[in-house]
């Protein structure tokens, strides 16, 4: 009965602080996120409480040794919360705000990216990963001092534009980049009037020359 289930979830949420570590672990294993919207909201609240609990618990265990049960507990709750990011609007926003808290995701973009890659990826949420990962990264943009600044200081219709000469001929546009540098150096040796700083666009197409002289070829033949 859905009515009884809703009451049970609300009572369970109130009893969470009084339960033992093992009892919380067992409850986390039997809860599931695929349920109607009203019960999904209470399931989210329970998993949120469990996530904060288990992260604090693991922080204390680091000083001694982390037990396998605690590690499984943490990963299970984490994955369930990630799955709730693909729920309906209210629950998705609630879960997103939970993750965006500075206690869980750093306000530094660099550290936040590291956490997104290391902790917020799951095979079960792979289809939604790019969506919420990008959302979490862009969430920091409104906090930037330049966020409210206009891209252009003045309206475009009041700006003064200058004409920019653009070569329409593709040969002229790409001639500089398609010409090997050694051809220009070779021509400057033959004809000193050609400077290496000459604009290649204004020059005629360069005639390639052989890189070895006839004397060098004859010497190589004699050595053989």
Token pair of 156 as six digits: 């475009």
Show me where the domains of the chain are located: 2-141, 171-211
Task: Give the pTM.
Answer: 0.63
| Per-residue pLDDT tens digits for 191-216 | 555 454 444 444 444 444 444 445 54
Question: Do 37 and 90 touch, CB atoms closer than 8 A?
Answer: yes
Whether 190 has a pLDDT exceeding 60, the answer reads: no
Mean pLDDT of all residues in 217-223: 50
Q: Which residues contact 73 (CB under 8 A, 6 or more apart)?
A: 24, 25, 28, 50, 54
Q: How far apart (Å, rounded) are the C-alpha atoms in residues 196 and 189?
A: 10
pLDDT of residue 186: 54
Question: Do 32 and 66 touch, CB atoms closer than 8 A?
Answer: no
Mean pLDDT of all residues in 67-91: 87
Burial 53-92 (b: 16+ CB within 10 A, else e): bbeebeeeeeeeeeeeebeebbebbbbbbbbbbebeeebb
Question: Do 136 and 99 touch, CB atoms closer than 8 A?
Answer: yes
């Amino acid at each position: 009965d859905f009515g009884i289930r809703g009451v049970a979830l609300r009572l369970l949420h109130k009893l969470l602080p009084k339960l033992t570590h093992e009892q919380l672990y067992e409850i986390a294993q039997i809860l599931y996120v695929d349920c109607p919207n009203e019960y999904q909201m209470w399931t989210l609240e329970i998993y949120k409480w469990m996530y904060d609990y288990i992260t604090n618990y693991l922080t204390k265990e680091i000083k001694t040794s982390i037990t396998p049960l605690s590690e499984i507990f943490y990963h299970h709750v984490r994955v369930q919360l990630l799955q709730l990011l693909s729920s309906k609007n209210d629950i998705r926003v609630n879960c997103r705000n939970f993750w965006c808290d500075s206690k869980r995701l750093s306000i530094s973009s660099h550290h936040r990216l590291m956490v997104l890659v290391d902790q917020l990826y799951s095979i079960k949420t792979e289809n939604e990963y790019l969506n919420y990962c990008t959302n979490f990264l862009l969430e920091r943009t409104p906090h930037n001092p330049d966020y409210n600044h206009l891209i252009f200081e003045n309206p475009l219709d009041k700006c003064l534009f200058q004409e920019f000469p653009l070569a329409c001929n593709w040969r002229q546009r790409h001639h500089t980049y398609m010409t090997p540098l050694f051809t220009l150096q070779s021509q400057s040796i033959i004809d000193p009037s050609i400077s290496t700083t000459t604009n290649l666009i204004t020059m005629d197409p360069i005639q390639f020359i052989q890189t070895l002289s006839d004397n060098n070829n004859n010497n190589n033949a004699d050595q053989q």
